């Protein structure tokens, strides 16, 4: 595979190594996301919807309110309410208003949502293994650690 400058047909050098690292992370994230969304397309959901379902599966029977779902998503979304509305229309989640405070709405994953995630668990793992190809465990641990340090600085 070509280096990033060649890949994006940039003729001038990057302004700094940090700029090259940033653009490389963004380009790689976009490519990973695109292939993941393509894999989910046949199941009728997006990567963001998958992520919300994963968050709700992790919450269990207790469920979560909208803001808790929003805060736990890997990527920020502009309107968590619309995201949950779509998942509810699809029958993958259910929402229930609280007793004392009618503004508080608990969101839970449905059995249909759990089945969908169960059906996607193995294909998702296989996709990630293909995406990261020949990277060994030590390289992946280093990558995870470096990205974690970058996020902590932000």
Domain limits, the chain: 47-124
The pLDDT tens digits of the residues spanning 17-70 come to 999 999 999 999 999 999 999 999 999 999 999 999 999 999 999 999 999 999
The pLDDT tens digits of the residues spanning 119-140 come to 999 999 999 999 998 999 999 9
Query: Mean per-residue pLDDT for 79-106?
Result: 88
| Residue 116 clears pLDDT 90, i.e. is over it | yes
Q: What is the pTM of this model?
A: 0.87
Residue 58 in contact with residue 108, Cβ under 8 Å?
Answer: no
* Whole-angstrom distance, CA of residue 31 vs CA of residue 47: 13
**Record: fold of 47-124:** Arc Repressor Mutant, subunit A (1.10.10)
Per-residue pLDDT band for 98 (boundaries 50, 70, 90) equals: confident
| Residue 100 clears pLDDT 70, i.e. is over it | no
Among candidate residues 69, 72, 64, the one with its CA nearest the CA of residue 82: 69
């Amino acid at each position: 595979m070509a280096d990033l400058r060649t890949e994006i047909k940039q003729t001038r050098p990057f302004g700094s190594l940090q700029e090259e690292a940033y653009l490389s992370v963004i380009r790689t994230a976009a490519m990973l996301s695109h292939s993941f969304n393509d894999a989910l397309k046949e199941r009728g959901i997006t990567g963001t919807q998958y992520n919300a379902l994963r968050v709700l599966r992790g919450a269990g029977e207790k469920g979560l309110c909208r803001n808790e779902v929003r805060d736990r998503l890997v990527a920020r979304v502009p309107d968590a309410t619309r995201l949950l509305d779509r998942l509810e229309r699809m029958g993958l989640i259910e929402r229930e208003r609280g007793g004392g405070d009618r503004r508080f709405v608990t969101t839970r994953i449905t059995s249909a949502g759990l089945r969908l995630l169960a059906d996607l668990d193995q294909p998702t793992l296989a996709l990630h293994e293909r995406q990261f190809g020949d990277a060994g465990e030590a390289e992946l641990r280093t990558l995870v650690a470096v990205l974690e340090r970058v996020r902590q600085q932000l």
